DNA sequence: ATTTATTATCGTAATATTACGATGAAATAA
DNA sequence: TTATTTCATCGTAATATTACGATAATAAAT
């Protein structure tokens, strides 16, 4: 039981849910906000910035990387993380598409 | 172990993550798309529309209601579901705020 | 009052996520 | 070479989510 029945849904629906799932943790929101506001590459200050263990942060970074919203480049012994601007705006667009198909013109006929 | 450490994060971060979590399932995306496109109140055709058990759909509807993005009003023996337009645009705005603080002007200095 | 229709809730099994210590890998410094 | 630093991955315990049958709750119809 218990497993999501992905085959019941369209690729688009599964992909949107996948993106939302990656955003669905405050640590990952915090990482994104930090990288977005820094607007630059950040070495692993992230472990300091957020109060979670190094292994946990690394796991969260991997999930963010999995949807391409951040990139990590090796820089000597450290790794630099930053936002992928193109992917960011793609994701923004995809989420907005969901909401924008609603026309609140028929506000009155309902409930 | 295993439980999200909400106390490490701001209310805003926790709330954004909460919203994303509700969107993080293809069935809930499908329900939203259906209600958004119908742009009207829908009686429980949702169980037909999506191939999950009635109890499961009811559970998904409750989660969507928990962030206020949909409303359910009792209509005789049925229940009418529809989008809450105000809450929808609030949520849209909150998600966009996250992305919009990024200025891709410094596209070149990075990674 | 009984049946029928529709939805919510409870209980629970299967699966997924979260967190972290321990360990590994890779580059630099000593 | 031998540390040291930084990050990833493995293993695993705690917790959360997903799905559904069974059952309750509510309103209408007979």
Give Cβ neighbours of residue B16 (< 8 Å, ≥ 6 apart).
A23, A26, A29, B94, B95, B98
Q: What is the CATH number of domain A11-92?
A: 1.10.10.10
pLDDT of res. B111? 61
What residue segments make up the domains of chain A, in order of their start? 11-92
pLDDT on residue B77: 87
Spell out which residues of chain A touch residue B32, defining contact as CB-CB under 8 Å: 98
pLDDT band (50, 70, 90) for residue B106: low
Instruction: Give the CA-to-C1' distance from B59 to C14 in angstroms.
Output: 17
Beta strands in A1-111, from DSSP E residues, in sequence order = 70-75, 78-83
Query: CA(A81)–C1'(C10) in Å?
Result: 46
The answer to whether the CB of A104 falls within 8 A of the CB of B85 is: yes
**What distance in Å separates the CA atoms of residue B8 and residue B10, rounded to the nearest whole number?**
7
Specify the pLDDT at position B38.
85
- Which residue would you say has higher pLDDT here, B15 or A111? B15
Reduced to 3 states (helix: H, G, I; strand: E, B; else coil), residue B7 is helix
pLDDT at B10 (0 to 100): 98
Q: Quick one: residue A71, left, alpha or beta (phi over 0 = left, psi -120 to 50 = alpha)?
A: beta
Mean pLDDT of A18-29: 98
Determine whether the interchain pair A25/B41 forms a contact, defined as Cβ–Cβ distance below 8 Å.
no
Which uninterrupted H or E stretch holds B18? helix B11-23
Residue with the two structure tokens 């019941």: A8
Q: For residues A44 and A79, is the Cβ–Cβ distance under 8 A?
A: yes
Nucleotide with minimal C1' distance from the CA of A57 is: C19
pLDDT digits (tens, 9 = 90+) for A29-84: 999 999 998 877 777 789 999 999 999 999 999 999 999 999 999 988 999 999 99
Distances in whole angstroms, Cα of residue B89 to Cα of each of A20, A103, A104, A110, B19:
17, 11, 10, 17, 13
- Please give, rounded to a whole number of angstroms, the shortest distance from the CA of A58 to a CA of chain B: 15
| pLDDT at site A62 | 97
Question: Is the shortest CB-to-strand distance from B5 to strand D under 7 Å?
Answer: no
User: What CATH class has B11-94?
Assistant: mainly alpha
pLDDT in tens, B9-68: 999 999 999 999 999 999 999 999 999 988 777 877 899 899 999 999 999 999 999 999
Round and report the angstrom distance from CA (B42) to C1' (D12): 45
For the segment A82-106, the average pLDDT, to the nearest whole number, is 89
pTM of the model: 0.93
């Amino acid at each position: 039981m218990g497993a999501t029945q992905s085959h019941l849904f369209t690729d688009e629906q599964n992909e949107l849910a996948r993106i939302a799932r990656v955003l669905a943790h405050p640590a990952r929101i915090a990482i994104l906000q930090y990288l977005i506001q820094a607007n630059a590459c950040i070495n692993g200050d992230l472990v300091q910035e957020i109060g979670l263990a190094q292994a946990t942060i690394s796991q969260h970074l991997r999930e963010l990387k999995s949807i391409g919203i951040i990139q990590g480049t090796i820089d000597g012994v450290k790794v630099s993380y930053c936002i992928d601007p193109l992917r960011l705006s793609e994701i923004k667009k995809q989420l907005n598409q969901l909401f924008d198909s609603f026309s609140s013109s028929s506000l009155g006929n309902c409930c």
